Structures are given as C-alpha cells and as structure tokens.
Amino acid sequence: MVKAVQQAGEKAHLDLLNAHPDLVGKAVLTAASASEQASAGLNQLSKEEVRMFREWNHTYREKFGFPFIICARLNKKDAILTAFPRRLAQDRRTEITTALEEIAKIARLRLEDIVT
C-alpha cells in the first residue's frame, strides 16, 4: 500500500494529503482520528494551546498548500508543537514526503488495530 502511494503522482499525493483534517481544527473527525488526537492530549488543550495550533496550522497550510500531518498516536502535544517549526523549515518536496510517511504510520497503526 505504501509503495503504491509512493509511486503515485504529485496530484494523487496532494489529494491524499488534503483529505486530512487540521489538528485541533473545526472539522468533524472520524472516531479513529478523534481517538488518536485524544491520545496525544489534543482534546485537553488550553485556550492558548488551541490558538497556537491554529496559528501553526494556518502558517503551514499557507506555505505548503496542505494540512500539517503527524501521527498523533506516536506523539504528544508538546512534541507536535515542536515539530511545526522544524517541518516548516523544510522545502515543499521534502515536506510532501514527510507527510506521506506520517500517513503510512497512521495507516499501519490502524491496520494493526483491525488485525489484532
């Protein structure tokens, strides 16, 4: 599955990336996404933390044209907030690759849940 995504063209990559909601956004989440964000502590943020996430999301989307994607189950809120500026320093092609790698992590964990 990962290889098929890697071999897809940039349009397919961008379509996949843009299908993801913003972290701490206003979209209605699937049960899996809500659970994953909660495991990272994103459901218990202060007003200031919510503001920070929304500002980082906006800055990221403005630069790259797709939402910031990170495997929330493998991170906590502080690690995610630290990842924003590091990832914003990357070029667009590198960041597309990074975001696709994060999607692969999410997919692997969700598949493991289904299988086990």
* pLDDT of the residue at 28: 79
Which of 111, 110, 100, 109 has the alpha carbon at shortest distance from 20?
100
- Cα–Cα dist 97/92, whole Å: 9
Count of the separate structural domains present in the chain = 1
- Which residues, other chains included, contact 62 with Cβ-Cβ below 8 Å and sequence gap of 6+? none
**pTM for the structure as a whole:** 0.90
* pLDDT of the residue at 116: 86
* pLDDT of the residue at 3: 87
**Which residues does the chain have with pLDDT short of 50?**
none
* pLDDT of the residue at 67: 97
* pLDDT of the residue at 45: 94
Domain around 99: 2-115
3-class DSSP state for residue 90? Answer: coil
* pLDDT of the residue at 6: 81
Which of the residues are catalytic?
20
CATH code of the domain covering residue 107: 1.10.3330.10
- Cα–Cα dist 1/102, whole Å: 14
Which of 101, 39, 46 has the alpha carbon at shortest distance from 70?
101
